[in-house]
Homo-oligomer: A and B are copies of this chain.
Amino acid sequence: MIAMGSKKRRGILERLNAGEVVVGDGGYVMQLERRGYVKAGHWTPEAAVEHPEAVRQLHREFLRAGANVLQTFTFYCSEDKLEISGNVTNITGAQINEAACDLAREVANEDDALVAGCVSKTPCYVKSHSEAEVKAIFKKQMDDFLKKDIDFFIVEFVDHVEEAGWAVEVLKTSGKPVGATLCISPHGDMHGVPPGECAVRLVKAGADIVGVNCHLDPLTCIRTVKLMKEGLEKAGLKAHLMIQPLGFHTPECNLGGYTSLPEYPFAMETRAITRWDIHKYAREAYNAGIRYIGGCCGFEPYHIRAIAEELAAERGFLPPASEKHGLWGAALEMHTKPWVRARARREYWENLLPASGRPKCPSMATPEDDYEKHYLLFRPEQVVLSLM
């Protein structure tokens, strides 16, 4: 990193315990879908084996943007999920998991970043609801990771706290730190467990870091993590807080998150957040006491850079990719057009309300409410609007 000097690699808890900001990476599957390497609907990570150069390059871009952690590209890489998707016929989950560890490690070592081995929700949980079967799946994936040089684990994109707890219990047996992020809304998990209680359960299961990822926009996710924090405080428990939200505006979503939006997954462009939205998000997350701050689907490298730029004073340095970015638009000062030069200032971008260019389109959609109907948790009298 710029003017960083050489640092010894320190562990995730060492960093968080020291009060440092840890910048996470962004979303892999949606970005690699757009680049041509992941199939939407399946969302499986076989590209780690099939096209390692593409995964390596995206890792590198996140690293360059300021990420302190590279997550292995192992989303949905449990054997049961791979089998269902039917997308990958000649490659085993173990091959993907191992290749993904190598790729993340290789790039992380270009700087002093950490590698997090990632597991996500399993089809098995909803199908069998068997603790033994689900834990066996997580154990198998963990064993793949442990053959490689990873620094800690992340359980992510789980919408039942019970399943996430099981994963944490398995992964803790490795002796490595474990973070756990649920893809839940402020209303709680799929069984109606409120965020505060979810956090308590995860910490009791052994999680060192808890929070949320995916499914909802940054400000909504901050609200959920705040509720987790309150729950932990009430229970007298301590844990680090983590957040990796969507890079999309989803003000009208409830429990089902962005999959319930009509635009999911092939017309989400309209909802993409800007780098200036990220500045607000990073500041607000920091102010809420969250110290592991990254992104999920929709977070591209420049969004991660915006986190690192917003928190540059707190971290003490800018990321490498800021060589190619004027803070708050400063590089526009030399633009040939005077009205573009006039945009080379923070006030302009902070206050801009960007037009959609789509006068035939509405500003808000009607989310599919089947999700809510299925899970009986929707309280129609309380539709919560969150706006960035």
Minimal beta-carbon separation of A193 from chain B (angstroms) = 17
Task: From A96-104, A160-168, A355-363, give the one contacting chain B.
Answer: A355-363
In contact, A249 and B64 (Cβ under 8 angstroms): no
The total of chain A residues at the interface (CB under 8 A) is 107
Q: Given contacts A269-B272, A355-B362, A357-B363, are A386 and B223 in contact (CB under 8 A)?
A: yes
Query: In the complex, which residues of chain B have a beta carbon less than 8 angstroms from the beta carbon of A226?
Result: 381
Identify which of residues 268-302 in chain A touch chain B, using a CB-to-CB cut-off of 8 Å.
Answer: 268-277, 280-281, 300-302
Q: A11 — which chain B residues lie within 8 A by C-beta? A: none
A196–B276 Cα gap in the complex (Å)? 41
Copies in the complex: 4
Q: Does A91 interact with chain B (Cβ within 8 Å)?
A: no
Stretch with Cβ within 8 A of B (4 or more), from A54-62, A129-137, A173-181, A235-243? A54-62
Which of B218, B270, B334 is the one whose CB lies under 8 Å from A354? B270
Whether A266 contacts B275 by the Cβ 8 Å rule is: yes
**Chain A residues within 8 Å of B, Cβ to Cβ:** 33-42, 53-54, 57, 60-61, 64-65, 84-86, 123, 186, 217-220, 223, 226-227, 248-252, 254, 256, 259-277, 280-281, 300-302, 305, 320-321, 323-326, 329, 331-340, 343-344, 349, 352-366, 368, 370-371, 381-388
Given contacts A53-B57, A265-B340, A273-B388, 13 further A-B contacts (CB under 8 A): A33-B324, A36-B65, A41-B344, A219-B388, A226-B381, A250-B357, A252-B357, A264-B343, A267-B349, A271-B354, A272-B272, A360-B364, A360-B366
CB pairs A–B below 8 angstroms (20 shown): A33-B324, A39-B331, A41-B333, A41-B335, A42-B331, A262-B354, A266-B274, A267-B276, A267-B349, A269-B272, A269-B273, A269-B354, A270-B354, A272-B272, A280-B388, A354-B358, A360-B387, A363-B363, A383-B385, A383-B386
